[in-house]
Amino acid sequence: MSQFKPQLAITDKIFRLKSQVVKHEKRALGFHATTELLHNAHVRSAYATLAIENNGLSLEEVTDIIEGRYVSCTQNEMREVKNAYEAYSLLDIYHPPNPYSTTAILHAHSTFMTGIAKDAGRFRTTETAAQGRGTIAPNLIPRHVENLLEWVNTSDEHPLIKSCVFHHEIMYAKPFRAGNGLIARLWQILLLSFWSMPMGLPLAAYLLECRENYYNALAIQNKTESTAAFVAVLLQAIKDAVVEYDK
């Protein structure tokens, strides 16, 4: 049994948003994305997830880099874009990563951070500035992530809620020195796809639109309140993304 216990109170807002997502999800379930549509979705997600992290390239520039056209940017920006697209391309319809595997998460982190960070594909080994806010100590990270994944895999909680709690915990515990947000957003789509959501769900695009609320919820000092506020932000973004598919 997992030792991870989420600090989450299901508020009326969370319950309402969850119900709304489920309503739209039933229609989105029948949507089968073509290779071209998935490519476009991954390009858009790569752009949005990097923009959330303050990468200044436009969607057009990100598209040009991925499709091999010249863009005036730094080598680091180009590497970030190519890595992000490759990471989202791991969300393959027929051979997706195991969403409950620590090894798979480390591989995804390596894909995002190769050529950018020396510790690509490895958990952090030092404390972080947020240590006093509940971030776990480095020696406890591997077991903490294993417990978190076991809880996501075995808990009776609704998959929507579990994916949101996972996202919050990665952002809050910061198991990596850099790239936690990139992993959290990618892995939530993977977890949702194992429920019934499309692989090309544009979650990052809608989180970019509410970026301030996204980070404000995470910054709440009380973890129970932070988790509830953060889950509500995520559910709203998921609802908006699913409505787009529904249309």
What single string gives the DSSP state of each residue in 156-216? -S-HHHHHHHHHHHHHHH--SSS-HHHHHHHHHHHHHHHHT--TT--HHHHHHHTHHHHHH
Confidence of residue 32 (pLDDT cuts 50, 70, 90): low
* Rounded mean pLDDT, 29-45: 80
CATH number of the domain enclosing 124: 1.10.3290.10
Q: What is the pLDDT of residue 103?
A: 98
Asked if residue 107 is part of any domain, the answer here is yes
Confidence of residue 90 (pLDDT cuts 50, 70, 90): very high
* Rounded mean pLDDT, 187-193: 96
Q: What is the pLDDT of residue 27?
A: 60
Asked if residue 90 is part of any domain, the answer here is yes
Length of the chain: 247
Asked if residue 160 is part of any domain, the answer here is yes
Question: Minimal CA–CA distance to 59: which of 75, 70, 48, 73?
Answer: 48
Q: State the Cα–Cα distance between residues 106 and 97, nearest whole angstrom.
A: 11
Q: How many structural domains does the chain have? A: 1
Asked if residue 6 is part of any domain, the answer here is no
Asked if residue 5 is part of any domain, the answer here is no
Domain that residue 138 falls in: 12-246
* Rounded mean pLDDT, 146-162: 96
Asked if residue 208 is part of any domain, the answer here is yes
Token pair belonging to 177 = 């020195």
Confidence of residue 29 (pLDDT cuts 50, 70, 90): low
Q: State the Cα–Cα distance between residues 52 and 207, nearest whole angstrom.
A: 8
Q: State the Cα–Cα distance between residues 93 and 203, nearest whole angstrom.
A: 17
List all residues 6 or more positions away from 169 whose beta carbon is below 8 Å from its beta carbon.
4, 6, 148
| 216: pLDDT strictly greater than 80 | yes
Asked if residue 93 is part of any domain, the answer here is yes
Tens digit of pLDDT for each residue in 97-150? 999 999 999 999 999 999 999 999 999 998 875 554 557 899 999 999 999 999
Residue 94 buriedness (CB in 10 A; 0-12 / 13-18 / 19+): exposed
Contact status, residue 66 vs residue 43, Cβ threshold 8 Å: yes
Asked if residue 4 is part of any domain, the answer here is no
Q: What is the pLDDT of residue 2?
A: 78
pTM: 0.94
